Each structure stands twice: as C-alpha cells, then as structure tokens.
A and B are shown apart, each in its own frame.
Chain A
C-alpha cells in the first residue's frame, strides 16, 4: 500500500468518524427539540401538581392522570423540581403522587442496585421526598462516597438514634464530602442530636472530636459546656481552640473566666480563639488580660486583641486609648482599632 493509499484510508476513517459524530449530534438535537415541544405540556403537569398540593389528596387523581401521559423521565423531572420546595401536608400529597406514579417504588429498588450512580440517584429521589426507608443506615456505609454523603443529607428527615449514630460515624469518613454532609445534617437536626454528640465525645478522639466541636459551635447548645471545659485541656491545640469556640457559643456565665484562662495557652491558635470568644461574650472583666496581646508578635493576635477590646465597650476603649500614643506594635494596632469607624465594619471573629 502506497503512502497515498494509506492517507486515503485514514481520511475515510476520519470522514466516517465525523459523519458518526454529526449523526449523534443531530439525533440528540431532535430529542432535545422534542423535549422543548413537550414543555407546554410539562407546564400543565406542574399546574396539576400544584392544584393537587393545594386541594389535598382528593386532587391527586387529576394530577395522576396528567402525569401518566408522560414518560418516567419527565415525571421524575417535574416532581423533583417541586419536591424540595414543599413541606407538611403538601409533601404528603406529593409522596402519594410519587407512589402512584411508581417513582418512589423505583427509587426504593434503585438504592439496592449495583451501579453507584443508580443508588445515588435513587437516594436523591427519596431524600427529595423526605421518605424514610430501612435502607438508609445501610447506605451510610455504602462503598461509594457520593452515596454515603447523600444518605447523610437524607438522614435529616429521620433523626433516630440509629441514623444519628450513622451520621457521627461519617464524621470520621475518609471523603470530605461525607464529613461535610454529616456535619451539616447534624447541625440541621439540631438539639435532638446533642445527647448523641456529647456521648460520642467520650469515645472518639482526634479529628472526629474536632468535627463534633465544630457542629457544637454551630448548634450553640448549653449542654456542650461541660465537655468543652474538659476538652480545653486536650493535648491538641486545634481541639482546645475549638473547645474555646464552643465555650463562647454556649454563652454560659462560667465561660468567660475559662476563656480568660486560655489566654495563657502556649498555642497562638488557642489564644486567638479565646480572644474571639471573649469578644463574642462581651466579657469585659477580661480586658486586662487582653491588653498585653496588643504587642504580641503575631499580627493576627494583635488585630484580634484590638477588635476584642473594641467589642468590650468602654473598658476596652480606655485601654486602647492608653496604648495608642507612642510607638511600637501596641500603639500601632490600638491606633488602627480606634480609627475604625464602627465595629460593624469589621467582623468580630478573626
């Protein structure tokens, strides 16, 4: 075969490839065009669902008859659009529709499928409808991190002991998405999760402890005061800093002196967290202990000391004014802090 023949063969292959791609694009465009033509009808379906939601279960027959004209794909699309936006009775009606159209039945089967993407999609459908299933705890241990994360988000709808334990277990997951989803779910569950989290603090350590403390900081439940006081003695500076944040968030009257004591901590991270906490608590008796931080070598700490003194009101402002004249780090940061037009222009937290 000559080189020219070879090129002709290659050109033929390329031409065939281009033709195949064009056909694929054309077919896809046709499908899309069909989808666009369906859009007005899908609008009718949405309208029927909205009427069913406002009219109660009695209206579901009409909505079902409208939905049954469409393929499963369109039904799923329409219902998933609406599911996250409805709660209470309306959601119950939507669940009835989901059951009647077979969407939820398929999803319940789907979460047991071998393919991770099918399990994930099915879990998303069930989450969107807020449907409980016995598969949930098992999905929290799924081999796919995406599925585990979705199961965590789903668990918000069923905050039982078993699911809470599953969520706490996910705090130590190797995948960040799972950890994030579990933390977020625990925060959304709120106070009912506090007891489980406090119990878990006795049996976990390291990063899992820190993640529980992050959740506790967001929840601000006073029951975390006692464990936080214990954890400010933890060997890990990060854990101590987070415990300080929890202390401040609990708003307990005893938290102020504990935070002042933490200003002596050898770790800058902990001292910074304590200074932020004192500002948040507006614990003005801590002024005298904050003031030396104005001349700390760390800029972050100096800045926070200035901001904290401002947050402590008149006592803090007096100390800033006394530090402002002259030279040196403390004078510089005190001057800058005093020149702030108002505390609202700067975050209290570092």
Chain B
C-alpha cells in the first residue's frame, strides 16, 4: 500500500501542488486587475452627477422583467420598491409564472390592475400567456399571468411583451439602490457593442427595510450569512472587476442585470437551464463571435442590489449544489468554445480558466485533503507538514478575503458601522474553518448530480421580506440567519439559476468569483 502511495499518489500530490501554485498566480493577477479597475472606476465617477441621464430625453428606455412564482408574501413590497427606482423611461413587467398562491390577486388589489389586450409579438415561444394587466395607478406597471414554465420561460414571456431598448432582469425579492439603474445604463450609452452589464449584489440579511427601500445597511450578525457576505464581497469587488479588465466577464447575476433587448431576441432569449443566467451570457458572447456582431459584457461595481441569502446549512447546500450543477451544464453546452481560437479571449482564456479554476476546484481541493491525510497515514508526510499545509491553505484564503475587505473599505464602504466591518473580518477567518470544506462537499455533489443527469429545480418556498412593513412606514429588519441546521430558512421562491460557487479555490483556498443567487429546495 505504501508502495502504491509512493508510485501513484506522490506524483498526483505534486500535480495538486502545482495546481495550487497556478491558482495563486491566477488570483494574484485577478486581484491586481480588479484593483486597477476599481481605481479607474472610482476616479471616473468622483463628483459625477447622474442627473443628466435621469432627465435626458435620450436615455435608453428600460423594461424591468420580474419573474414571480408564489411570492404573495413579498411581491407587494418588491414592486413598490421597483416603482421608486429613479429612471426616466422605465417600464416594469411582472410575470406571474403560474403561481398557486395569492400572488396575482395581491398584485391586482394593491396596484389596481385592469386587463388589457395582449398586443405583442410572440418572438420567443413560451407557455400560454393567459392575461395581461396594466396598473391604473402606475401606468408603467404591467403584470403578465401565464402558465407555469419556470424562470427562463417567465423571463422570455416578459421579453416578448416588453417594448424597451434595454431589459433589466431582477428577482422579485431583490431590493435595488434607487439610483442603481442609471449607473448600470452607463456602459450601454458609452459603447454600442455592450450587450449586457452586471452589477454588485450584496447580502441584505441584517439590513433594515422601510417601504421597499433599505433604511440601514448593516452587515449580518450571524455566522452563516456573514460568511456569505464575505463571499459576495470577494466575488463582486474582486472577481468581476478583475474579469472586466481582462475582457472576460461571463457572470451576470440573475438577481440584477441589464441587457440589450434585441440581442436577447436574436439569441432566442433564456434557455431552460439550471444556470440560465450564465448560460445566456456565454451564448450572447458566443453569438457575437459566430456572427461578428458586438457582444461586450461589462460589470459596474457600484449599482447595488440587495438580496437575502440562505440561513440554514441544508438550504445553502442545495443552493451551492445547484450552482455547481448549472455551471457544469453551461460548460457542457458550450464545450465547443473551449480552446478554439475563433472565440478569442472567451475560448482561449475565460472558458479554460473557468474549467480549470472553477469546475475542477472542488475536485482538486478534495483530492488535496485526501492525499495529505493519506500521506500522514502512510508516513510519507509528517503531521507537522500536514498542519502547516492546512494553515497555508487557510492563510491564503484569509488573505484573499482580507484583500476584498480592503477593497470594500477603500471604495464603497456600504456597511457603515465599524462593528459590522469588524465582524466581516471575523467571518473571513471563520470561513476557512469548516465552511469552506463544506462547500467543497456541496460542489462535488453538484458535479455528481450533473453527471447523473439531474435537472429538477425542486419545490421552492419563500419567506423573504414577508414581515416587512406594508402601508405603514415601519422599519423591519431582514431576518437574521437561523444558527442551527434544520430550521426553515429564508428561501426565495424563484431561485435564480446562477451557478458559481462562492468557495475559494481548491484545497488551496482561493476565492473564486461566485455568482450569488437564491436557493431552491428540492
């Protein structure tokens, strides 16, 4: 057995070590790229007035597409929040995707909906649209009732019915910064080649919501949500801006993204996939290379959308498993892009990097843990070496999280209280002691379930912002995570299919750029 370890396992160990070194180099490049990008962006927006766009007749029109399924508890507050978004020519299209609860009647009574005739071009096939309503009180609010077809189908129906130049996808339980849209529209004004732009998502657990708006921006005080807040910061302040400068952004969160409508129609809208948001971005970029049409994807760091994260391990595990499954699905669908020079940066750098440092990450990290353990058992490695190696992995992870926190501190500082920021440091350390190892397991399960051909989204429940003040102006705090496993968590109903883990890379701990999303319980 020892002979087997020396002849077979030892070389694999060196491969794993080499992988860790490559990973470290990759993340160093990403960090430097992100830091440069952030510095440029902050200089560009210093003392800027967004009022010009807000009041310009030339501002591109935007339709907000809001898929909703069984969201009766939060839909009212979410739509009210959207109606407060500052943008001159804004249409809001809410799609009730076959809800079995009171979502539609809640919308009807709250916003005084009246039926209108469906007068639209059905460019993309969807499940049957049964009715279209317009609000008497808010003429820019349209509600579409349709048979259940899933999130992608709901988005496609909204895409057919919307009439604007740009479409913004947003989850029904997401809260936008009031001026988020006018910041996000900037890349489209700047460059006609931009087909999609993504924004930062932050963790809302712990924040206070008043009348659909965030009244105070506070960091989570519970470990699970706090660690996810660190993951989100790492992803959105580090990963996405890094890829932005390298020209390879692939991730636009389903919770908040802006797209050129015509480009979506040209590529046949959203596909039925567990990872439909990343799939769409890859398809848009691939279509650009195939047809010679523009297909730039940009990330804008400061328009912020706030969302709840899972508050129980079981739900979080399902979310991460689903993200990884969606990611595998996207890589498989677009495997023809990988290492093909005709796809430029996408084929030669971005997709290979995602395969190497995202898809393989949990496998290599798990292998690293197992091999080091075996090495100690067979006497090939000393216990001291194993402990130091583990400390090294944790140290790298903590350093990367700290660098993300530093970027946050030197840039936007949205978590205002010193206590919140101090807690983020604590969560950044704790993340490496158990949580990260758990994410490896969840992601491995995701790979396995993809290989088994699992496609189900599963039943989705939601609590969301259900207790948030309605007609009054009572401030309500977004529920904090429940500390023990097994309690019912906050689970968004229309989970986004965003893939991407928020873990760090492999056993060596590099945070990879995740795409935060919602959870589906199966």
Residues of A within 8 A of B (CB): 3-4, 7-8, 10-11, 14-15, 17-18, 21-22, 24-25, 28-29, 32-33, 76, 80, 84, 116-117, 120-121, 124-125, 128, 146, 153, 175-177, 180-181, 183-184, 187, 214, 218, 299-300, 303, 306, 336-337, 339-341, 344-347
Quick one: given A21-B405, A25-B405, are A11 and B52 in contact (CB under 8 Å)? no
Chain A residue nearest in CB terms to B397: A14
Interface contact B58-A84, CB-CB below 8 Å: no
Chain A residue nearest in CB terms to B405: A25
Among B47, B58, B117, the residue within 8 A (CB) of A214 is B58
CA distance A82 to B384 in the complex (A): 62
Q: Count chain A CB atoms within 10 A of each CB in B118, B192, B391 and give the residue with the most.
A: B391
CA distance A302 to B117 in the complex (A): 16
Say if the beta carbon of B29 comes within 8 Å of chain A. Answer: no
Interface contact B388-A8, CB-CB below 8 Å: yes
Among B52, B114, B186, the residue within 8 A (CB) of A184 is B52
Quick one: given A175-B190, A303-B121, are A128 and B49 in contact (CB under 8 Å)? yes
Quick one: given A18-B402, A303-B119, are A176 and B392 in contact (CB under 8 Å)? no
Interface contact A346-B189, CB-CB below 8 Å: no
Q: Other CB < 8 Å A-B pairs besides A15-B395, A21-B405, A345-B116, 19 of them?
A: A17-B399, A18-B402, A21-B406, A22-B425, A25-B405, A28-B409, A32-B418, A84-B49, A116-B43, A124-B46, A124-B48, A176-B189, A176-B190, A180-B189, A181-B52, A187-B56, A300-B121, A345-B134, A346-B119
CA distance A128 to B51 in the complex (A): 12
A4: chain B residues at CB < 8 Å are 382, 384-385, 388
B389: chain A residues at CB < 8 Å are 7
A80: chain B residues at CB < 8 Å are 47
A10: chain B residues at CB < 8 Å are 392
Chain A residue nearest in CB terms to B46: A121
Chain A residue nearest in CB terms to B389: A7
Say if the beta carbon of B413 comes within 8 Å of chain A. Answer: yes
Among A21, A116, A303, A339, the residue within 8 A (CB) of B402 is A21
Chain B residue nearest in CB terms to A116: B43
Interface contact A340-B117, CB-CB below 8 Å: yes
Say if the beta carbon of B106 comes within 8 Å of chain A. Answer: no
A32: chain B residues at CB < 8 Å are 413, 418
Q: Mark B28-55, 1 if CB is under 8 A from A, else 0.
A: 0000000000000001101111011000
Among A24, A120, A124, A341, the residue within 8 A (CB) of B117 is A341
Say if the beta carbon of B7 comes within 8 Å of chain A. Answer: no
Interface contact A125-B47, CB-CB below 8 Å: yes
Interface contact B395-A14, CB-CB below 8 Å: yes
Among A29, A76, A120, A128, the residue within 8 A (CB) of B421 is A29
Interface contact B44-A341, CB-CB below 8 Å: no
Say if the beta carbon of B57 comes within 8 Å of chain A. Answer: yes
CA distance A125 to B56 in the complex (A): 21
Q: Mark B4-45, 1 if CB is under 8 A from A, else 0.
A: 000000000000000000000000000000000000000110
Interface contact B391-A11, CB-CB below 8 Å: yes
Number of interchain pairs (Cβ within 8 Å): 121
Quick one: given A4-B388, A184-B58, are A29 and B425 in contact (CB under 8 Å)? no
Interface contact A336-B385, CB-CB below 8 Å: no
CA distance A33 to B56 in the complex (A): 38
Q: Count chain A CB atoms within 10 A of each CB in B121, B384, B402 and give the residue with the most.
A: B402
Nearest 4 pairs of A and B residues by beta carbon: A117-B43, A14-B395, A21-B402, A339-B117
CB distance from A174 to the nearest CB of B (A): 10
CB distance from B191 to the nearest CB of A (A): 5
Chain B residue nearest in CB terms to A127: B49
Interface residues of B, count at CB 8 A:
46
Interface contact B409-A22, CB-CB below 8 Å: no
CB distance from B218 to the nearest CB of A (A): 15
CA distance A79 to B396 in the complex (A): 44
Chain A at the B interface: SS class:
helix
Residues of B within 8 A of A (CB): 43-44, 46-49, 51-52, 56-58, 114, 116-119, 121, 134, 139, 163, 186, 189-192, 382, 384-385, 388-389, 391-392, 395-396, 398-399, 402-403, 405-406, 409-410, 413, 418, 421, 425
CA distance A214 to B116 in the complex (A): 32
Interface contact B403-A21, CB-CB below 8 Å: yes
Interface contact B403-A120, CB-CB below 8 Å: no
B189: chain A residues at CB < 8 Å are 176-177, 180
CA distance A53 to B384 in the complex (A): 71
B396: chain A residues at CB < 8 Å are 14
Contact sample, A vs B, 8 pairs, CB 8 Å cutoff: A7-B385, A7-B391, A11-B388, A25-B405, A25-B409, A29-B409, A80-B47, A117-B43
A187: chain B residues at CB < 8 Å are 56-58
Chain A residue nearest in CB terms to B396: A14
A124: chain B residues at CB < 8 Å are 46-49
B114: chain A residues at CB < 8 Å are 341
Quick one: given A4-B388, A11-B392, A175-B190, are A336 and B399 in contact (CB under 8 Å)? no
CA distance A76 to B47 in the complex (A): 10
CB distance from B252 to the nearest CB of A (A): 20
B47: chain A residues at CB < 8 Å are 76, 80, 121, 124-125, 128
CA distance A212 to B477 in the complex (A): 51
Quick one: given A18-B395, A22-B425, A153-B52, are A3 and B385 in contact (CB under 8 Å)? yes
Interface contact A25-B406, CB-CB below 8 Å: yes
A14: chain B residues at CB < 8 Å are 392, 395-396, 398-399
A25: chain B residues at CB < 8 Å are 402, 405-406, 409, 421, 425
Chain A residue nearest in CB terms to B39: A117
A128: chain B residues at CB < 8 Å are 47, 49
Chain A residue nearest in CB terms to B49: A84
B51: chain A residues at CB < 8 Å are 84
CB distance from B267 to the nearest CB of A (A): 19
CA distance A345 to B46 in the complex (A): 41
CB distance from A108 to the nearest CB of B (A): 16
A218: chain B residues at CB < 8 Å are 57-58
B392: chain A residues at CB < 8 Å are 7, 10-11, 14
A33: chain B residues at CB < 8 Å are 418
Chain B residue nearest in CB terms to A16: B399
B119: chain A residues at CB < 8 Å are 303, 306, 336-337, 340, 346
Chain B residue nearest in CB terms to A152: B52
A116: chain B residues at CB < 8 Å are 43
Interface contact A176-B52, CB-CB below 8 Å: no
B52: chain A residues at CB < 8 Å are 153, 181, 184
Chain A residue nearest in CB terms to B163: A347
Chain B residue nearest in CB terms to A183: B58
Quick one: given A7-B388, A8-B388, A11-B392, are A176 and B191 in contact (CB under 8 Å)? yes
CA distance A254 to B384 in the complex (A): 91
Quick one: given A120-B43, A340-B116, A340-B119, are A11 and B395 in contact (CB under 8 Å)? yes
CB distance from A13 to the nearest CB of B (A): 9
CA distance A177 to B134 in the complex (A): 34
CB distance from B431 to the nearest CB of A (A): 14
Chain B residue nearest in CB terms to A181: B52
Chain A residue nearest in CB terms to B44: A146
Interface contact B43-A18, CB-CB below 8 Å: no
CA distance A280 to B395 in the complex (A): 67
A29: chain B residues at CB < 8 Å are 409, 418, 421
CA distance A14 to B508 in the complex (A): 13
A120: chain B residues at CB < 8 Å are 43-44, 46
CA distance A84 to B55 in the complex (A): 14
